[in-house]
Amino acid sequence: MKFKRRNLEIVPPFVGMADIVFNLVLFFLILAKMQDESQIKWEPAHGAGAKPVVKARVSLTVDIDNKVYLNGKQVGLMNLTSLVASELGDTPPGERTVLLKIHKDTLAATFEDLIAKVSEAGGEMVHVIEDEQPP
């Protein structure tokens, strides 16, 4: 007597795999650092009439040693325009804010080129300063 052989289909549990992938994505998002500027040493300049800092996607920092950092990563001035433009992407005109954090002892000649390059990239500059305290 011949027995008819049944084909067994093995289906992996996709629901469990989706849970694992979701947990891994969350794990790496939590561990990812968006902007780590803790190693950059700078002191803001003081000025009158300071307003609260607006929300920005791009941050340029010039530290005490005149090194330039874009969102916490050291960059050179040669490709700064393209880097700022790529960070801003397709952001609408009212939201293209670039925070400029310059050490208080930095000479104007050092950061004038920065301002020009951010303007070329289409960014709207906001200089971060501390409000002067009356004596």
Examine the pLDDT at 17 and tell me if it is beyond 60: yes
Instruction: Name the β-bridge partners of 59.
Output: 99
Query: pTM here?
Result: 0.58
Judged by DSSP in three states, 47 sits in strand
Residue scoring higher pLDDT (17 or 45): 17
**For 94-124, what is each residue's pLDDT tens digit?**
778 888 888 778 777 777 888 888 888 888 7
What is the pLDDT at residue 56?
A: 75
The highest-level CATH class for domain 45-131 is alpha beta
**For 20-29, what is each residue's pLDDT tens digit?**
888 889 888 8
CA–CA separation, 40 and 68 (whole Å):
10
Q: How far is CA 96 from the centre of its chain?
A: 13
